[in-house]
Structure 1
Amino acid sequence: MDQGVAAVWAAGLGIAGTLLGAFGGAWVQARTTRAQVVHQEWAEVRLRIRDERRAAYAAVLEHYDRSRQATSIVLQYRTDHGVRHTEVPEDLRRDERVAVETFQRAVMDVAIAGPERMTTLADEIAAAIWDRVIAVANGQLDYEARVRDYNNSTTRGMNARIAFVEEARRVLSAPDRPVQ
């Protein structure tokens, strides 16, 4: 009987070990698969965020340049014709207004896409554009003062643009996953 009991115990332990190995292996594989799926989803979200940020940052730069061009055209018209801002043809003023409003929407997209430092830099560019628009439209200033304010706002805007591009490169070049 001792050999029979030992055989039963051996068979029982063998079956238990087989079952434990099978279930344990399946459990480890399920955990590994789940971790891979989570990592893949995280990587896809990170890539989507990067693409959205890239588009938002590019839109700010594009619409900043369009706003600068539109304000330059209005100032040039005022200078060439010696007229007040309200005497500039409506189509030129409308183009300026649309360019600046579109630029403001692009700045808002950066505020949504983030991070906060990019929002701050986009706001600095926007402040320079608004100062530029005010310099062009200001009827209280003589020509020299208007040009001085215009040039100062242009310089501030270009410096803010440079800082924006540098920070955008840093934000967009961040690794997709933390280094482990």
Structure 2
Amino acid sequence: MGDQWGTVVAALIGVGGVFGGIFLGRRQVTDQAAVEHEQWLRGQRREAYAALLETWDGGLAQLDEIVGNWEGEHHAAETFEGDGWEESEKSIHQRTHDAFVTVKRAIERVELLGPESVDAAAVQLLTALRAVRDAVRSRSGGHSWPDWDAYGEALELADAARDAFLTAARGATRAAPRP
């Protein structure tokens, strides 16, 4: 009978070892999958963040070009047959809308990828972009366009938002993936 108990105990230890091996193997595969997913996500984030910064700079350059050409805009409005200031206002609104939409799409892509700290910074970018767009549009359709004070304040807000986004993005992409 003693030999039979030894066989039963050895069998139980063997079965326990098999279940332990299965559990540990599944755990290792799960951890490896989580790390690989985090690495993939970090790469996607890095691409989206870089694309956003490039699009952001391009969008602000477009808005700055609109304001920088204020003398040409005034001349065109004053020499236009019909209501040149109304046409100028329409043109400014359309060009600022186009620049805004392009940057907004890049911000939305970043918001899809997270994390929360970057999402919050992306919302600040969007708020700053709206402020710049609205400052460019401010007083459009009249001799007092552009509103230099509003534009300057909006650019300061945009610079601060870009810096905050860059800091958040740096933190999100530098963290090593962990299971």
Q: So what's the TM-score if we normalise by structure 1?
A: 0.78
Q: Counterpart of 2:124? A: 124
Q: Percent identity?
A: 24
Range 46-55 or range 32-41, more displaced: 46-55
Correspondent of 2:10 among 18, 22, 25: 18
1:91-116 per-residue CA deviation (whole Å, 9 max, x = no partner) reads x8766533320211122222222223
- CA distance in 2 between partners of 1:81 and 1:41 (Å): 57
Range 29-38 or range 79-88, more displaced: 79-88
- CA distance in 2 between partners of 1:141 and 1:107 (Å): 34
Query: Number of paired residues?
Result: 168
| 1:152 has 2:144 as partner | no
CA pair 32-13 structure 1, distance change in 2 beyond 3 A: same
CA pair 102-134 structure 1, distance change in 2 beyond 3 A: same
1:21-74 per-residue CA deviation (whole Å, 9 max, x = no partner) reads 321221211111011011112112222322232233223212111111111111
2:107 touches 2:126 (CA, 8 Å); kept in 1? Answer: yes
Instruction: Give ranges in structure 1 of 5+ residues lacking alignment.
Output: 1-8
CA pair 159-66 structure 1, distance change in 2 beyond 3 A: same
CA RMSD of aligned residues (A): 2.7
1:63 touches 1:106 (CA, 8 Å); kept in 2? Answer: yes
Instruction: Give ranges in structure 2 of 5+ residues lacking alignment.
Output: 78-84
Q: Counterpart of 1:41? A: 33
Counterpart AA for 1:50: R
Structure with more relative contact order (C-alpha pairs < 8 Å, separation 6 or more):
2
Correspondent of 2:69 among 63, 73, 77: 77
Correspondent of 1:32 among 20, 24, 35: 24
- CA distance in 1 between partners of 2:168 and 2:103 (Å): 19
Whose radius of gyration is greater, 1 or 2?
Answer: 1
